[in-house]
Chains A and B, each alone.
Chain A
Amino acid sequence: KQEVTQIPAALSVPEGENLVLNCSFTDSAIYNLQWFRQDPGKGLTSLLLIQSSQREQTSGRLNASLDKSSGRSTLYIAASQPGDSATYLCAVRGNQFYFGTGTSLTVIP
């Protein structure tokens, strides 16, 4: 069974810092990997989708990479802002979607 792990579980950084969130998965037979953001008590907002054949995707200050063979993905956030504070989840799609445990990010003004 696919297992998705995210490290760290929580992260606190001062505003303006660049940061990296990590996602690892045990089964490399995936169709794609998706990064989401979740604000407290809210649903999920899709940030980036990387197909299994792709290595990275970029959107604004966000860059996500995928190394399928090693079962790893990273989400890079440049010049962090207080509005980036949220929980970030990664999910891989195999036979179904498998979600990671999430990283709770706090950006301190």
Chain B
Amino acid sequence: GAVVSQHPSRVICKSGTSVKIECRSLDFQATTMFWYRQFPKQSLMLMATSNEGSKATYEQGVEKDKFLINHASLTLSTLTVTSAHPEDSSFYICSASWADSNQPQHFGDGTRLSIL
């Protein structure tokens, strides 16, 4: 089946640090990747949708200058949390899919980000 690898799995860093999270589709070419944020005991909140070779589409309320998304190839998308602060601490999950709306999403294992 389709495998999505997300790294790192856990990050602990000081306030003001920028953190990059990678999302890779290992055995298929993902035309579309999604970035989600999940707060404790809550469901996933879509942050942005990224299509290979174009700018990401951000959901309302998500700061694009704060959460930089790059989708340079069909197998890699990155999310950079710039100048992270404690309120950015959360669980970030990526998923990959094809542009065809009938296709499923395949998820990475998530990244636990803790800002001290």
Contacts and interface: CB of A to CB of B under 8 A. Distances in A.
B113 interface: no
Given A44-B44, A44-B93, 10 more contacts: A31-B101, A41-B112, A46-B104, A46-B105, A49-B104, A93-B101, A96-B49, A97-B34, A97-B46, A97-B105
DSSP class of A's interface residues: helix, strand, loop or mixed? strand
Interface of A: 31-32, 34, 36, 41-46, 49, 51, 89, 91, 93, 96-97, 99-102
Interface residues of B, number: 20
Nearest to A36: B107
Given A31-B102, A41-B91, A99 B110 contact: no
A89 B46 contact: no
A37 B34 CA distance: 18
B44 to A, nearest CB: 5
B54 interface: no
A45 to B, nearest CB: 7
